Amino acid sequence: MKSHIPIIVSGLLLGAGFSALQPGNFFTGWLIFSFIFLLSFYVLRYASHWAPDSQEVQPATFNLQLVLALAFLLRLALGVTLYLALPLQPDAADDHRNGYIYTDAYRRDMQAWELSQSGQPIWESFNKSHYSDQYGGLLAILTASYRYLSPDAHRPLLPILLAALTAALGIPFLWKFASLLWGGRVASIAVGIYALYPESILLGSSQMREPFLMTFMAIALWGFVSRRVEQSEAHSRSATLWLALGFLGMLLISPAVALLTLVILAGWMFVQREHGRVSWTALLATGFIFIAGLYLLAWGLEREQPFGSSPIGIVMNFARDAVKWDTYQLVRGSGWVQKLFSEMPEGLHPLFVIIYGLCQPVLPAAFVEPTTLTLRLLGIFRALGWYALVPLLFYAPFAVTRSEVGEKRRLWLWLIALVWIWCIVAALRGGADQWDNPRYRAILIVIEACVAAYAWVNRDRWLTRWILVEIIFLVFFTQWYASRYYHLGGQIPFGIMVAVIVALAALILGGGWWRDRRRKLLP
């Protein structure tokens, strides 16, 4: 009983605090939030005890229960901070004035509240007239939460609490499949990255799809890995249920991510195939999920007209138009991008968008560009996370080719290639935007965290070289941004600066390769 007292007291106190920040009757809000907090704490407690049943025991320095609690509370803390701080900004837009960092979150949450009060059935969330959610799944979840948990008042912190809980629940599944495949050391670092990565924390503190998608992807990966590794019939049935639950969740929230996960698993099976044998059950399940995901995606994207006869055509047309529109928005919103586009051949524009998108959120810009204190601190927080992660992603292929052979090498190279392809797609689809582009990129944080963890565990001098390349990039671009906004020092022409950065990077990487080769040749 003593172990329950801290949980109960914490739940009641946090419930009272959240209720005091929200409209509506305080006592009603206190009961609502206290109930959800208590439920969250017990779910997380159970998950922390369930997860370590994997093949390898946790490292002595790793406490999964602490990581789960930290992930949950960090997302809640940031959500409450933004809810209180954003309305204080001068000349705040409607979304910021109401405490939402994302416009999509603001529109979706407001529409969910309106729908919850309308008396219409929840499945109306899937009606195409509800513009705030292409697919309707998250809108339905938010509508149900307001209708059944908070019918008396609109409490925007309620969805944030649900998002934070869902995001944290991805951790035990990530731990289980990573430790089963690669051991406790890689798994513990991957879990730490997932829990502490700033973009993941930000998305888990808002009314967005991504925290749900991250967790459903982790669930599907655990089901897939468990089914392939564990041989008993009971494990196979359990794994199939987890795999199905993960895909059902993704199909509900975003069919596009379900298709992406299907690609991940299909490639995984291909690189680990045994003597060319393929399971007919796996083929049928893959085909079903692909067709369902494709049709649901096409249905969600075709908003202006009746459902077409070619879902592939709908998706391809949307993707093409979206990239064009996002690139246009990038050019229209930035005078220096307009200038650079005018100075380079048109065929290089997509390459520029990709590279610029991979640099977002740009760390020097986060420190230098004029903005409010809240957005500056948030920008620095997000950029520091990405610039800490990206050298590990660049270095990962070096670690794999040095440390692995055969099937393990093929699997890691597949996952690394997928991460970089997805980062490029996110840059194009987000138009190199500093908000949408990193948000799309973070959907794959479960895989990115594993790749980065593997790179860190198997690090050598090549990681140091990639960090030096990043430092050179940051030094030059910090001076460039400082000269642009504050006229500090002379401004190096952009093309010359990029050429110098590339030359110095080539010198570091090429010189490192030559030095390593020379060492091998010496007796």
Instruction: Indicate whether 192 pLDDT > 50.
Output: yes
3-state helix, strand, coil in the chain (%, to 5): 80, 0, 20
* Per-residue pLDDT at 119: 84
Q: Rounded to whole angstroms, how far apart are CA atoms 164 and 146?
A: 17
Q: Decide if 204 contacts 105 (C-beta within 8 A).
A: no
Ramachandran class of 125: left when φ > 0, alpha when ψ lies in -120 to 50, beta otherwise: alpha
In this prediction, residue 386 carries a pLDDT of: 97
Lowest-pLDDT range of 32-41, 113-122, 264-273, 485-494: 485-494
Of 2-16, 155-169, 302-316, 358-372, the one with minimum mean pLDDT is 302-316
Q: For residue range 19-74, what is the model confidence (pLDDT) as tens digits? A: 999 999 999 999 999 999 999 999 999 998 888 754 444 555 578 889 999 999 99
Mean pLDDT of the 465-477 span: 95
pLDDT at 378 over 90: yes
Residue 165 pLDDT grade (very low, low, confident, very high; cuts 50, 70, 90): very high
Q: Which residue has the higher pLDDT, 336 or 187?
A: 187
pLDDT (0 to 100) of residue 294: 63
Contact call for residues 384 and 364 (beta carbons, < 8 A): no
30 is a domain residue: yes
Residue 487 lies in a domain: yes
pLDDT band at 308 (very low <50, low <70, confident <90, very high): very low
Mean pLDDT in residue range 504-514: 92
In a domain, 365, yes or no: no
pLDDT at 275: 45
Confidence check: pLDDT of 155 > 70: yes
If one counts the domains in the chain, the total is 2
pLDDT at res. 306: 46
Tell me which of 50-64, 93-107, 196-210, 229-243 is least confident.
50-64
More confident residue, 341 or 300: 341
Mean pLDDT of 168-185: 93
Region 510-522: what's the mean pLDDT? 82
Confidence of residue 282 (pLDDT cuts 50, 70, 90): low
Across all residues in the chain, what is the average pLDDT?
A: 86
pLDDT, residue 453, reads: 97
What are the distances in angstroms from CA 187 to CA 62, 235, 238, 451? 10, 21, 21, 10
Classify residue 452: in a domain, yes or no: no
User: Burial, 121: exposed, middle or buried (Cβ in 10 Å; 0-12, 13-18, 19+)?
Assistant: exposed
* pLDDT, average across residues 166-187: 94
Domain span at residue 501 reads 461-523
Give the confidence band of 229 by pLDDT, cuts at 50, 70, 90: confident
The verdict on residue 476 lying in a domain is yes
Q: Considering the entire predicted model, what is its pTM? A: 0.90
pLDDT > 70? residue 522: no
Residue 9 is assigned to a structural domain of this protein: yes
pLDDT in tens, 388-443: 999 999 999 999 998 878 888 999 999 999 999 999 989 988 777 888 899 999 99
What confidence category does residue 341 fall into, taking pLDDT thresholds of 50, 70 and 90?
A: confident
pLDDT at residue 13, as a whole number:
95
Q: Is residue 11 part of a domain?
A: yes
CA atoms of 222 and 519, how far apart (whole Å): 42
pLDDT band at 286; cut points 50, 70, 90: low
Asked if the structure places residue 509 within a domain, the reply is yes
**What is the pLDDT at residue 239?**
87
Contact 160, 143 (CB under 8 A): no
Query: What dihedral angle (degrees, nearest 10) is formed by the CA atoms of 144, 146, 150, 156?
Result: 140
Q: For 36-45, 96-105, 309-318, 421-430, which range has the lowest pLDDT when averaged over its residues? A: 309-318
Q: Does the structure show a pLDDT above 60 at 309? A: no
Q: What is the dihedral of CA 375, 376, 377, 378, to 10 degrees?
A: 40
Q: Identify the weakest region by mean pLDDT among 332-336, 379-383, 420-424, 451-455.
A: 332-336
What whole-number distance in Å separates Cα of residue 87 and Cα of residue 97?
4
